[in-house]
Amino acid sequence: MPQSALPVHLITGLLGSGKTTTVKHLLAQKPENERWGILINEFGDIDIDVASLQANASEQVSLKQVSGGCVCCTAQFGLVEAINQLLTQNTNLDSNLESNPPLDRLIIEPTGLGHPAKIIDTLKHTAFKQPLNLQAIVCVITPKQLTQERWQKSAVMRDLVTLADIVVLNQTDLSSQTEQACSDLILASLYPNKSQVIHSQFGALTLNTLMQPHKPASFVLLAGLDEHHDQSVTLSETYYSAIQNTQACQLSQNAQQNIVSIGWVWQAGNQFNRVKLKALFEALAPKLVRAKGLLKTGNEWQLINWTEQQLQFSDIAWRQDSRLELLFKPEAKINPSDLKGIEIQLLNCINTAKKPSKT
């Protein structure tokens, strides 16, 4: 009988943000009948965080440490080994080990010195001794950390926040209203937007909040649209049907500004050709007002930003899907037939795309 997937929760954040305190709060909410695994990544060799959690843990909690490096990079092998050890000691997979009841939940707290993109890749693509089901990723951060100056300088911070499904703005009791307002402004301006931002003190987070799968951020068109005047068409399902990797295509029109917005979402495995993308944007430039996207180009992910006739690519730690949104000038008079042609050109930018049949 195949094993059910084990729910895995990733609690990320910068050093000093309150990750371990958040894990303690979650431990206090553990149902009595559940057995949890807690995996802590210490950059040094002394397990201070594990020792502090041990004091709050019960016999129904298995604690494991990966030390001497960051599981995002140098200690990545240790992450796989530690997870398999937790799974083995809590099942009857190895008859030579005394087994405990199987785990009901696994919480991973990586060090705050690296971004978790490689951890996500490892959890999704490694054949562990039991299937894993990655749940909503949490980023714990404080208003004193999430400042405009540090946001611009710290790639690690941007990666942590970008990859998170839930952002916990912690230690609000130690920050001013101005600091909190600046942090909220940064979070509100993110692309894609964050559907859950929780203001917290002492790392407080309810367990129920985590009970949701890791999934792409909600798809929000760049323009502010009046729902009474939106029109929706699905181009990908009716045209170019040989491509099965387009998950969604949304066309909306703003009646007041007469701006046409269109957006696509593709599965994460698709790779876009940068040379072809640049040529496409050069051709569309006279018609565009704005464009923004998150696309996988080669083996890397990049934020695509087109504004004021300039196309920019910048690295980003996004891993969930490829997505693109285009805004067209009113005078361009874009119609569904035009959009079908644009979609064909976009799909031709995907390296793995198949040509539509001529029959």
Domain ranges of the chain: 6-210, 227-347
The whole-number average pLDDT for the span 164-186 is 95
pLDDT band at 346 (very low <50, low <70, confident <90, very high): confident
Instruction: Give which of 210, 154, 164, 211 is closest to 190, Cα–Cα.
Output: 164
The pLDDT score that the predictor gives to residue 45 is 45
Please give the biggest Cα pair distance in the chain.
Answer: 74
Residues 310-334: tens digit of each pLDDT: 899 988 888 778 888 888 888 888 7
The whole-number average pLDDT for the span 60-88 is 78
The pLDDT score that the predictor gives to residue 19 is 93
The pLDDT score that the predictor gives to residue 101 is 81
Residues 13-27: tens digit of each pLDDT: 998 899 999 999 999
Residues 240-271: tens digit of each pLDDT: 333 344 444 444 444 445 677 777 888 788 88
| Identical topology for domains 6-210 and 227-347 | no
pLDDT band at 78 (very low <50, low <70, confident <90, very high): confident
Distance CA 116, CA 269 (A): 19
pLDDT at 234 over 80: no
pLDDT at 75 over 70: no
Mean pLDDT of the chain: 78
In DSSP terms, 106 is beta-bridged to 8, 37
pLDDT band at 11 (very low <50, low <70, confident <90, very high): very high
146 neighbors 119 (Cβ within 8 angstroms) = no
pTM score, two decimals?
0.70
Residues 291-301: tens digit of each pLDDT: 888 899 977 88
pLDDT band at 99 (very low <50, low <70, confident <90, very high): low
* Superfamily for domain range 6-210: P-loop containing nucleotide triphosphate hydrolases (3.40.50.300)
| Burial class of residue 282 (count of CB atoms within 10 Å of its CB; 0-12, 13-18, 19+) | exposed
Residue 65 has a CB neighbour count (10 Å cut-off) of: 20
Higher model confidence: residue 267 or residue 179?
179
The pLDDT score that the predictor gives to residue 226 is 32
The whole-number average pLDDT for the span 195-219 is 83
CATH code for the part of the protein at 227-347: 3.30.1220
Q: Which two tokens stand for residue 168?
A: 């916990």
Q: What residue type is assigned to position 182 of the chain?
A: C
Residue holding tokens 């300039």? 310
